[in-house]
Amino acid sequence: AEKIISDWKKGNFKPVYWLEGEEPYFIDEVMQYAEHKILSESEAGFNLTVFYGKDADWATVINACRRYPMFADKQVVLLKEAQQMRDIEKLEGYVENPLPSTVFVVSYKEKKVDARTKFAKILKSKAEVLTTKKLYENQLPEWTNNIVQSAGLTITQKALLLLVDHIGNDLSRIQNEIEKLSINLNGRKSISEEDIENY
Please report, for the chain, the start and end positions of each structural domain, with discontinuous segments joined by +: 2-132, 137-198
Residue 78 to residue 76: CA distance in whole angstroms: 7
Taking residues 169-193, report their average pLDDT.
Answer: 91
Spell out the CATH class of 2-132. Answer: alpha beta
| pTM, 2 dp | 0.87
Query: For residue range 117-145, what is the model confidence (pLDDT) as tens digits?
Result: 999 999 999 999 999 999 999 999 999 99
Return the closest-CA partner of residue 82 out of 111, 110, 108, 61. Answer: 108
What integer pLDDT is reported at residue 57 of this predicted model? 92
Q: Is 78 helix (H, G, I), strand (E, B) or coil?
A: strand
What integer pLDDT is reported at residue 58 of this predicted model? 94
Which CATH number applies to 137-198: 2.60.40.10, 3.30.70.250, 1.10.8.60, 2.40.30.10? 1.10.8.60
The answer to whether 2-132 and 137-198 have equal CATH topology is no
Query: For residue range 74-105, what is the model confidence (pLDDT) as tens digits?
Result: 999 999 999 999 888 899 999 999 999 999 99
Confidence of residue 147 (pLDDT cuts 50, 70, 90): very high
- Long-range Cβ pairs for the range 144-148 (8 Å, 24+): 144/174, 144/178, 147/174, 147/175, 147/178, 148/178, 148/191
- Cα within 13 Å of Cα(197), Cβ side: 6
